[in-house]
Amino acid sequence: MSDKAPEAEAREFAVAFSAFLDWVSTSASGEERNEVVALITDFLGAEGAAHSVVSRELPPLEHVNLQTALDAWCARPGRTVDIRGITVPPHHEPPNLQQLVAARSMAPIRLAAPALADLPNGPGSTLGCLRSAVLLVTDALGRYALLIQGPSEHHQGLAVEVAGLPVETAQAVLAELDALRSELNVYRGHMLDVALGAMGSVILGFSAPPGLTRDDVVLPSVVLDRIERHALGVAAHREALLAVGQHLKRGLLLYGPPGTGKTHTTRYLLGQMTGYTRLVLTGRALVAVGAVTELARALQPAVVVLEDVDLVAEDRTMGPRSSPVLFDLLDSMDGAAADADLLFLLTTNRADLLEPALAARPGRVDVAVEIDLPDAPARERLLTLYGKGVPLQLTAADVQTAVERTDGTTASFLRELIRRSVLEALQPWPSRSPAPRRAHLVHRPAPRARLRRRVPAVRHQQGTAVPYGLVAEYQPRCPGALIGRRGGLAASPC
């Protein structure tokens, strides 16, 4: 037998099997052609179908911006657009536009009303975004088709495809959509909380501005002035700095014990920077610093906030392996252009653990400011601040007693002290409006704080070791006093 015989038989079988699959996809329902394939190929014609399909992948977070751009693009004069939805059975991968133009779709797809994903496009508002649809377009360029494929079970990305035009023309259409996405970007100028989706994709949520004023930030004036000068002053002198060749990109690190007001100060700054796009990363979202910084560059002026940055930026000498997120962070802070108006605002309870290449290198972190425990005047201001709206019946002597007995405590402890005094005032007469008096605020000996620095770990009751830097242990002198653990508060079990 000739050696070529098996190869010829294999080719013959492949041709027959391909014909069988074509028959299954086009004739299973008794129709001559799939209705989606027929719609697109008939619209494009033989000449349009002969052109290459040009596609572009986008991050899933751009879905709402793509829809915003499409709405503006479709409404332009001289352009008519017929939008048709595509449905795919469960567990089938959606077809791409090349398969539809070539009439090679394997899934039994059908036409339907366009399915929409309702996505936020601003604080308190949403926009219906196409999930899987084909747009049949007629304008000065001719007749062509766009396929929009949003994230789905089998396709986590976002894709835009163009068929029916020469490659250069199709690229120009995609570039026009890109320009509209940038111009109409719904995230620009807003405060955004960054989260991670189930598959690790970046999710942005709109937040309301904090609404804090300078009077709401209880810090020594010299400290707050320095923070404001570095965060807000650079933008105010943008043109003058650029004129003398100075960069606008800057890094600010706020460090200190837990509960002293680092996050509160950060929220105040974010509320003042209304002309900036403000992106806030905490917890698991810190791993997305690379993608978020890229977005910040596109939306500048922008602020990137990294809460508890020590979680991903620990000194490389502390362990056998370095976090890959650390290198993403260093690259992100180095990668911005000199004239990019970007502020990296970092907070940590453990400045001693930070990688020196981050914390001690100008150009990444330019200014590091310690937010320390409040002194006596600050504690008095905090009691007044947190007592707003509370009918406190306290004399000046009562306030001074409270200030003296809370030496060594944090701002968060004082806030909880006011809350607990309100609860105490409710006990005898729960139906009355609470009016805390001296007895509710200072009738027990106040807890004193003993600070232990560079504590390697704190043990939970279950025995799990959690690294933490500055631990405040408030030792109760009587039943019912407050106990601080890792900056938090709890009732004494005694």
Provide the b/e sequence for 28-61 (b: ≥16 CB within 10 Å): eeeeeebebbbbbbebbeeebbebebbbeebebb
- Domains of the chain by start residue, with CATH: 17-183 (no CATH), 191-370 (3.40.50.300), 376-491 (1.10.8.60)
Task: Give the relative orientation of helices 167-183 and 63-74 as an angle to the nearest 10 degrees.
Answer: 110
Rg (CA), the chain: 31
Tell me phi and psi for residue 353, to 5 degrees. -95, -10
Q: Which residue has the higher pLDDT, 464 or 43?
A: 43
Q: For residue 418, what pLDDT band results from cuts at 50, 70 and 90?
A: confident
CA 234 to chain centre: 24
Query: Rounded to an integer, what distance in angstroms lies between the CA atom of residue 365 and that of residue 356?
Result: 10
pLDDT at 437: 59
Nearest in space to 142 (alpha carbons), one of 37, 47, 36: 47
Over residues 130-156, the pLDDT tens digits come to 999 999 999 999 999 999 999 877 677
Nearest in space to 209 (alpha carbons), one of 195, 193, 190: 190
Q: Could you give the angle at the alpha carbon of 183 between the alpha carbons of 212 and 185, nearest 5°?
A: 50
Over residues 331-388, the pLDDT tens digits come to 777 766 767 888 999 999 988 888 887 877 777 888 899 999 998 889 888 888 888 8
Query: Rounded to an integer, what distance in angstroms lies between the CA atom of residue 483 and that of residue 472?
Result: 9
Q: For the chain, what percent of residues have pLDDT higher than 90?
A: 36
Phi-psi region of 257 (alpha: psi -120 to 50; beta: other; left: phi over 0): beta
Q: Residue range 261-282: average pLDDT?
A: 92
Over residues 230-253, the pLDDT tens digits come to 888 887 787 888 888 777 888 899
Total number of residues shown for the chain: 494
Tell me phi and psi for residue 155, to 5 degrees. -140, 105
- pTM (two decimals): 0.76
191-200, long-range: CB within 8 Å, 24+ apart, which pairs? 191/270, 191/278, 191/280, 192/277, 192/278, 192/279, 192/280, 193/280, 194/279, 194/280, 194/281, 194/282, 194/285, 194/288, 194/292, 195/284, 195/285, 196/284, 196/285, 196/287, 196/288, 197/60, 199/156
